[in-house]
Structure 1
């Protein structure tokens, strides 16, 4: 276990992860703190109690966020033989899943944009705003398709 200075530095880093998750993905800060902590904890499995203590979260808030992260496949429950405690671990491909979901959503917007263009009759400034959004998102999706993430 690192000394207090090392612990403080790690908690500052966890807070940076939380801030990123809030600003970029509109996740609650506690969700980002959980992800940050699970990325750097040693051993890689951590009990809910230890997580709550480390990030100073209430058990109720922690439980709902752990359920959310488990449901979307970013973390998983781990059992240790002979131990009744449930431990949590970040999935090895968690960040790949996050990015892939974002890329999939870019493709989903194409159909929504097509409906909007049809709804507006296919011409005019409102239609052009829809097409501009569609082109930007399609461009980003196509770049990602040409440069797939390595796992």
Structure 2
């Protein structure tokens, strides 16, 4: 198998992109596949194309694609005339995934901090720290819906300007 011709600047960017995602907790190969799909010029990409581009095994690519489709960041799409599965970045997939994860995490922290205040006592030093953390996350969570409405309006305007 010959080495694919890949723009070194694009390959470097893709790997830096994947590293940032990895630093935020995404598995390395999942991050590399996601980054490759994000910078792909073709509307869809097959697993063999990803394997060639990333110089990775079919098994590693398959596992990463399965993870990304399960969490909704990537979707399988029909490709008439092709016998291979084709994949692309899901519209708003990163946004929906990040926001879902944030909401779950924020609520867990609010609940955990509330339990902590009850455990250590609200008038203790630790109780004050935990209550401050709970109040911060509750405040951010209450403001988030308005922020998201602003984002969606701005996003829709950007999309309309491009078409």
Does 2:143 align with 1:132?
no
Do 1:38 and 1:46's aligned partners in 2 also have CA atoms closer than 8 Å?
Answer: yes
- Whole-angstrom CA distance in 2 between matches of 1:60 and 1:133: 42
- Per-residue CA deviations over 1:111-139 (Å, capped at 9, x if unaligned) read 22212221223332322332232233234
Distance 2:135 2:11 in 1: 40
> Can you give the 5+ residue segments of structure 2 that lack an aligned partner in the other structure?
156-163
Report which stretch shifted further, 97-106 or 86-95.
97-106
TM-score, length of structure 2 as denominator length: 0.79
Q: Deviations over 1:89-116 (max 9, x none)?
A: 1101112113312431213321222122
C-alpha distance in 2 between matches for 1:56 and 1:129: 48
Cα offsets for 1:21-53 (capped at 9, x unmatched): 011x21122112111111121212100011111
**How many pairs were matched up?**
146
Once the two structures are TM-superposed, the CA of residue 143 in structure 1 deviates from its matched residue by 3.9
CA contact (8 A) 2:51 2:58 kept: yes
| Mapping 1:36-115, distance limit 5 Å | 36-104=35-103, 105-115=105-115
* 1:147 partner SS: helix
The gaps in structure 1 that reach 5 residues or longer are: none
Q: Which moved more, 1:108-117 or 1:79-88?
A: 108-117
